[in-house]
Amino acid sequence: MDPRPIGIFDSGMGGLTVLHECLVTLPHEDFVYLGDGARLPYGPRPLDEIRRFASEIASYLEHQGVKLIVAACNSATAAALPALQRRLSVPVVGVLSPEAHAAVLATRNRCIGLLATEATVTSGRYTELVRALDAGAEVVPVACPRLVPLIEGDDPFGEETAAAVREYATLLKDAGADTVILGCTHYPLIRPIFQRVFGRGVTLVFSAEETAREVAETLERKGIGNDESREGAYRFLTTGDPELFRAMGRRFLQLPIDAAEHVEVSALEAAAA
């Protein structure tokens, strides 16, 4: 039995969709979530910069005494996962591999669409992961720079969001994709819009459920799970505005957020120094 918490981080609040699934899958575990609200969004940033941010946050969480870290950010996973796994002494789980695996299993015609941030698309990591599992599969990537601001805006289910999804989906429909990876942890929040645009004939794959399953398997494999008879706790850290995080975070987590603690960016930088 290992009572240490699990650390989860994201550029902002999208990773709360992953935390939600982890809380449901592992109700006996404790979690600490860190959202880098001061420096979001990560998607338009250069990969080297995202890699540095991820290293700072993961090092900070390791210093906080976590037993496993989840990079619940597709951009950070794409840019930094191998470097984090080499640098840190605790296991690090990302959100790309579980999705790639699920997409390869789901596709019938071996044409897989990807909707993601600019950084994730630029990295090419999804294509590498899918091709490692099925060298004959085709990946059609589409960068969606408008979606994250709309999802975090005042009207995530509004017509502007639906119009953006229709625009991005057109390329995947034209390519004949029968499976689409929602390659950003924000996207599950508007899954009904994606499903409406693509229809039931297209399988949507997103990271939360698959990643939670990988976290559970990693804990079991390494023998670092907590006592299953207890109820776990969770706490929140943010480099941004704690009140904004608390208010908007409930939209993503779909559970209570009583408070969020503020962390200075300088503290993250110092942890990685």
Kindly report, residue by residue over 111-161, the tens digit of the pLDDT: 999 999 999 999 999 999 999 999 999 999 999 999 999 998 889 999 999
Please say which residue of 191, 206, 221 terminates a domain: 206
Indicate whether 1 belongs to any domain: no
Q: Categorize the per-residue pLDDT at 200 as very low, low, confident or very high, splitting at 50, 70 and 90.
A: very high
Note the pLDDT of residue 208. 87
Note the pLDDT of residue 187. 94
33/163 same-domain check: no
Find where tokens 């860190």 sit: 34
Determine the Cα–Cα distance for residues 63 and 238; give it in Å rounded to an integer: 16
From the candidates 22, 73, 111, 144, which is the catalytic residue?
Answer: 73
Please give the residue range of the domain that contains residue 80.
6-95+209-272
Say which residues have a Cβ less than 8 Å from residue 202's Cβ, sequence separation at least 6. Answer: 177, 178, 179, 180
130 three-state secondary structure: helix
Confidence check: pLDDT of 207 > 80: no
**Mean of per-residue pLDDT scores for the chain:** 96
Note the pLDDT of residue 152. 87
243/201 same-domain check: no
- Helices 125-133 & 96-106 angle (0-180, nearest 10): 50
Mean pLDDT of 197-220: 93
135/198 same-domain check: yes
Per-residue pLDDT tens over the stretch 31-62: 999 999 999 899 999 999 999 999 999 999 99
Asked if 144 is an active-site residue, the reply is: no
Note the pLDDT of residue 24. 96
Determine the Cα–Cα distance for residues 115 and 198; give it in Å rounded to an integer: 12
Asked if 184 is an active-site residue, the reply is: yes
pTM of the model: 0.93
* Count of domains for the chain: 2
Determine the Cα–Cα distance for residues 68 and 7; give it in Å rounded to an integer: 6
Strands 92-93 and 68-71: parallel
Per-residue pLDDT tens over the stretch 58-73: 999 999 999 999 999 9
Please say which residue of 183, 206, 229 terminates a domain: 206
Q: Categorize the per-residue pLDDT at 6 as very low, low, confident or very high, splitting at 50, 70 and 90.
A: very high
Note the pLDDT of residue 209. 84
135/173 same-domain check: yes
Indicate whether 43 belongs to any domain: yes
Mean pLDDT of 92-108: 95
108/160 same-domain check: yes
258/194 same-domain check: no
